[in-house]
């Protein structure tokens, strides 16, 4: 095949963007609503789904072509010209495309998972009054995520970084009539913006110190040591703050479980496979920078390790199936960060790749279960194996991949991370091993509560219909499950001949190759990790399946750990009550509102109260207030003069 041309690479992003534009324009023109006199709307909502699916499918084909081009190009970066976007004085921002192994893999993952999710959503969202809106936002999200992956300068990347955040916000709050959904959306937005602040500061810092915003330029600067190592470290930490926000790393992970208030396909695409992995992608993109700073890379490893463990522990106590998976996602993202932290760029991105398939499969499976039972509460499920054999089989494959059982996808990628950890930082290896055991535990518990035993009820679905007997989902939903199950089973073989490794190594500058850790396959590590995972599953089986001991008595025995976990380490309480409510709102804003209410509005209200009285008094009150204002002006003048003379005495 010929090499892909630049216009086609842009089209990968522009196709879903076009679908977003068309759907929103039609909605604004009122063509999506039934006409005044009744009857069907001009634009059938189903068309929005078809349009999105076609756009994403075309983008997927182009993404495959891009990947093929990179491979044909000896895995090296494909050079495209830069286009001037903003030039202000010395600030010169180009927009352009980064097409190399890393971005090509991401393109394929994003378009591929997005395609299946959009297909699945046709049935899942059927009849929802926000059907058009749903597909418009999903298209915009897909376009933004692809734009993020393709960006060649940090500023360009940041633009899309913000856009995916915005889409995530809109989609978490999709069912905005629910109070919980609204609050979850706001929480996600605020928490991730907190991390973004670090990212922005990092951009500001690197620009003020090096004068370049191009990603390749920044990598170059870090590798040649053109700026001090302090700058590199702070830049890397700032970038990592942004990445930690998006990828839900401790202590900014609190938004992701709540984000499950969004529709389940949204969780599958955004909060499992793609956007949350953007943080990992960002760190990987700046890998040469991180690797040049011991402090930064250690931070990545440490935060990743903490996240992997604490989230897995939370997964053991959650009773909501989607939340178990959300914690699992956080934990797995922690694994990817651990991988990066030990220099394993290849293993981390490989894990991102396999995780995208098996985790979105788990979510879509959960959606299928919800479709059947109307609930995500695992205490009201049970016995679904009989009613939903296909869903069960696919979820089982995904679960085994997640735990890392040979030969499923997760085994290969997790094994690489552990091998890298053994060669780089041994303590990370042991954390990872403990994490695998915990993963087995919560996955086993989830499987048994959902699919094992007897059916325990269910309730109305997300859309409000009630179900009697649970039933298997229709083929439109099962087809994506099956395709993803194939990937979850086989994706691990992608790197059996180190093809994946070579592809990614080509995306790292030559000089940075020495910084990569290339852990060797060791049979004992493979055995150890599979054994840890299986023993986790076995313990879960013993407790929840065979009930060798009552879960209650385990809970009582381990106090206060379960209570701490059920309260999510009290972090939500800390953030919301102590920091936000008492600290921020209780402090500064209240003071200011008091000023506003009693000094300014107080006078105005006073004015209003006496308004009917006499106009003479009204005028007096006004004049009095104007005096106050004028006094402030004069104080300002005096302050300014004094300030200048103090700072710079004559």
Partner 1 sequence: MTDVIRLGPELALLIAAGLIVLMDIALPVSREAARTKRALGFALALAGVAGSIGWSAVLIAADEQGEAFSGTLVVDDFSLFFNFLLAGITGMIVLASADLLARTRFHAEYLALVLASATGMMLMAGAVDLIAIFVALELQSICLYVLVGFLKDSRSAEASLKYLLLGAVSTALTLYGMAYLFGLSGATGLRDIAEFVSASGGDSGTRAALVLATVFLAAGLGFKMAVVPFQMWVPDVYQGAPTPVTAYLSVASKAAGFAVVMRIFLVALGEGLISSDWATMFAVIAAVSMTAGNLMALVQTDIKRMLGYSSIAQAGTFLIGLAAVAAQDPQLLLGASSVVFFLGAYAFTNLGAFIAVIAISQKIASDEIADYAGVAKRSPWLAAGLAACLISLTGIPPTAGFIAKVYVFNAAVQADLVWLALIGVLNGVVSAYYYLRVVLNMYAQEPASEETFQPSLSLGVAMAIAVAGMFLIGIYPNPLIQASESAAAVFG
Residues 409-448 that bind partner 1 (CB under 8 A): none
Q: Does 554 bind partner 1 (CB under 8 A)?
A: no
- Calpha distance 502→286 (Å, rounded): 18
180 is an interface residue for partner 1 by CB under 8 A: no
- 628 touches partner 1 (CB under 8 A): yes
Task: Tell me the backbone φ, ψ of residue 463, rounded to 5 degrees.
Answer: -90, -10
Rg for the chain, CA atoms, rounded? 27
C-beta of 267: minimal distance to partner 1 in Å?
A: 19
Count interface residues toward partner 1 (CB under 8 A).
68
**From the list 611, 614, 617, 620, which residue makes contact with partner 1 (rule: CB under 8 A)?**
611
Distances (CA, A) of 306 to 309, 344, 435, 556, 645: 5, 18, 10, 25, 52
Residue 204 binds partner 1, judged by CB under 8 A: yes
The reply to whether 643 sits near partner 1 by the rule CB under 8 A is: yes
Tokens, residue 179:
């109070």
DSSP state for residue 643 in the 8-state scheme: H
Nearest to 446 by CA among 387, 398, 390: 398
Which tokens is 157 given?
């990347």
**618 touching partner 1, by CB under 8 A:** yes
* Of 61, 64, 71, 163, the one binding partner 1 by CB under 8 A: 163
Look at residues 450, 417, 445, 441 and name the one whose alpha carbon lies nearest to residue 431: 417
Q: At what angle do helices 523-540 and 426-451 cross, to 10 degrees?
A: 40
CA distance 255 to 326: 10
Among residues 449, 453, 439, 274, which one has the least CA distance to residue 376?
449
> If binding is defined by CB under 8 A, does position 641 make contact with partner 1?
yes
The residue from 1, 40, 88, 523 that contacts partner 1 (CB under 8 A) is 88
Distance from CA of residue 347 to its chain's centroid? 19
Is residue 620 within the footprint of partner 1 (CB under 8 A)? no
**Does residue 604 belong to the site contacting partner 1 (CB under 8 A)?**
yes
596 binds partner 1 (CB under 8 A): yes
Tally helices (H) and strands (E) across the chain: 28, 2
Minimum CB distance to partner 1 smaller for 72 or for 611? 611
Residue spans of alpha helices (H) in 407-459: 409-424, 426-451
Q: Identify the sign of the CA torsion 331, 332, 333, 337.
A: positive
Q: Which of 465, 589, 609, 620 binds partner 1 (CB under 8 A)?
A: 589
Q: Does 633 bind partner 1 (CB under 8 A)?
A: yes
Site for partner 1 in 205-244 (CB under 8 A): 205, 207-208
What's the rounded Cα separation, in Å, for the pair 27 and 33?
8
Burial class (CB in 10 A: 0-12, 13-18, 19+), 216: middle
Count of residues for the chain?
Answer: 650
Single residue of 460, 486, 558, 588 touching partner 1 by CB under 8 A: 588
Cβ closer to partner 1: 136 or 405? 136
Cβ within 8 Å of residue 58, ≥6 positions away: 11, 15
Of 11, 64, 159, 226, the one binding partner 1 (CB under 8 A) is 159
Torsion of CA 291, 292, 298, 300, to 10 degrees: -50
The residue (of 238 and 339) whose beta carbon lies closer to partner 1 is 238
Q: Which of 31, 72, 76, 91 forms a contact with partner 1 (CB under 8 A)?
A: 91
Q: Which of 122, 1, 109 is nearest to 60 (CA)?
A: 109
Q: Which is nearer to partner 1, 554 or 644 (CB)?
A: 644
Among 14, 54, 201, 574, binds partner 1 (CB under 8 A): 201
Question: Which C-beta is closer to partner 1: that of 137 or that of 544?
Answer: 137
Smallest gap from Cβ 615 to partner 1, in A, equals 9
Of 524 and 629, which CB lies nearer to partner 1 in the complex structure?
629
646 binds partner 1 (CB under 8 A): no
Please tell me whether residue 578 binds partner 1 under the rule CB under 8 A: no
CB of 63: closest distance to partner 1 in angstroms? 23
Q: Which ranges of 73-153 would DSSP assign to H, the alpha helix? A: 101-124, 131-150
Q: How far is the CB of 637 from partner 1 (least distance, A)?
A: 5
Out of 31, 460, 548, 645, the only residue in the binding site for partner 1 (CB under 8 A) is 645
Residues that bind partner 1 (CB under 8 A): 27-28, 30, 84-91, 93, 155, 158-159, 162-163, 166, 173, 176-177, 182, 185-186, 189-190, 193-194, 197, 200-201, 204-205, 207-208, 588-589, 592-593, 596, 600, 604, 607-608, 611, 618-619, 622-623, 625-626, 628-630, 632-633, 635-637, 639-641, 643-645, 647-648, 650
């Amino acid at each position: 095949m010929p090499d892909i041309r630049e216009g086609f690479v842009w089209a990968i992003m522009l196709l879903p963007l076009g679908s977003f534009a068309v759907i929103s324009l039609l909605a604004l023109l009122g063509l999506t609503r039934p006409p005044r006199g009744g009857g069907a709307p001009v634009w059938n909502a189903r068309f929005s789904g078809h349009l999105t699916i076609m756009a994403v499918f075309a983008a997927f084909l182009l993404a495959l072509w891009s990947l093929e081009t990179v491979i044909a190009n000896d895995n090296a970066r494909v050079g495209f010209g830069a286009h001037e976007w903003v030039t202000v004085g010395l600030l010169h921002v180009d927009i352009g495309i980064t097409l190399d192994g890393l971005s090509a893999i991401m393109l394929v993952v994003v378009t591929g998972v997005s395609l299946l999710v959009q297909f699945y959503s046709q049935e899942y969202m059927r009849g929802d009054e926000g059907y058009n809106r749903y597909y418009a936002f999903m298209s915009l999200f897909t376009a933004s995520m692809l734009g993020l992956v393709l960006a060649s300068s940090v500023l360009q990347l940041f633009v899309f970084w913000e856009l995916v955040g915005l889409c995530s916000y809109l989609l978490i709050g999709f069912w905005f009539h629910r109070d919980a959904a609204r609050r979850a959306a706001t929480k996600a937005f605020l928490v991730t913006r907190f991390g973004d602040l670090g990212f922005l500061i990092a951009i500001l810092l690197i620009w003020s110190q090096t004068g370049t915003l191009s990603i390749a330029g920044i990598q170059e600067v870090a590798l040649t040591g053109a700026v001090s190592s302090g700058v590199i470290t702070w830049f890397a930490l700032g970038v990592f703050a942004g990445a930690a926000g998006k990828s839900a790393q401790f202590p900014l992970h609190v938004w992701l479980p709540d984000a499950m208030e969004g529709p389940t396909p949204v969780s599958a695409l955004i909060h499992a496979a793609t956007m949350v992995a953007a943080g990992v992608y960002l760190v990987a993109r700046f890998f040469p920078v991180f690797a040049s700073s011991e402090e930064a890379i250690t931070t990545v490893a440490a935060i990743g390790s903490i996240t992997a463990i604490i989230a897995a522990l939370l997964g053991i106590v959650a009773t909501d199936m989607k939340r178990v998976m959300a914690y699992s996602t956080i934990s797995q993202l922690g694994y990817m960060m651990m991988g990066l932290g030990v220099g394993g760029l290849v293993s981390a991105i490989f894990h991102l790749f396999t995780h995208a398939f098996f985790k979105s499969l788990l979510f879509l499976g959960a959606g299928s279960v919800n479709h059947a039972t109307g609930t995500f509460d695992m205490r009201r499920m049970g016995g679904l194996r009989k009613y939903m054999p296909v869903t069960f089989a696919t979820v089982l494959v995904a679960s085994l991949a997640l735990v890392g059982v040979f030969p499923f996808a997760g085994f290969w990628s997790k094994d690489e991370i552990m091998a890298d950890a053994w060669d780089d930082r041994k303590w990370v290896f042991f954390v990872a091993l403990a994490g695998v055991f915990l993963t087995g535990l919560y996955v086993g518990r989830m499987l048994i509560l959902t699919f094992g035993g007897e059916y325990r009820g269910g309730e109305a679905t997300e859309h409000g219909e009630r179900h009697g007997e649970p039933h298997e989902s229709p083929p439109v939903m099962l087809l994506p499950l099956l395709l993803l199950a194939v990937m979850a089973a086989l994706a691990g073989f992608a790197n059996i001949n180190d093809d994946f490794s070579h592809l990614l190594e080509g995306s790292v500058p030559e000089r940075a190759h020495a910084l990569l850790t290339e852990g060797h396959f060791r049979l004992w590590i493979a055995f150890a990790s599979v054994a840890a995972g299986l023993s986790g599953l076995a313990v879960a089986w013993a407790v929840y399946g065979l009930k060798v001991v009552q879960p209650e008595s385990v809970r009582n025995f381990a106090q206060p750990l379960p209570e701490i976990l059920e309260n999510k380490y009290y972090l939500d309480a800390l953030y919301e009550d102590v920091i936000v409510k008492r600290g921020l709102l209780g402090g500064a804003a209240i003071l200011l509102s008091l000023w506003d209410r009693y000094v300014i509005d107080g006078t105005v209200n006073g004015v209003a109260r006496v308004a009917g009285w006499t106009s003479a008094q009204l005028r007096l009150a006004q004049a009095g207030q104007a005096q106050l204002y004028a006094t402030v002006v004069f104080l300002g003048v005096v302050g300014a003069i004094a300030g200048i003379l103090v700072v710079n005495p004559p």
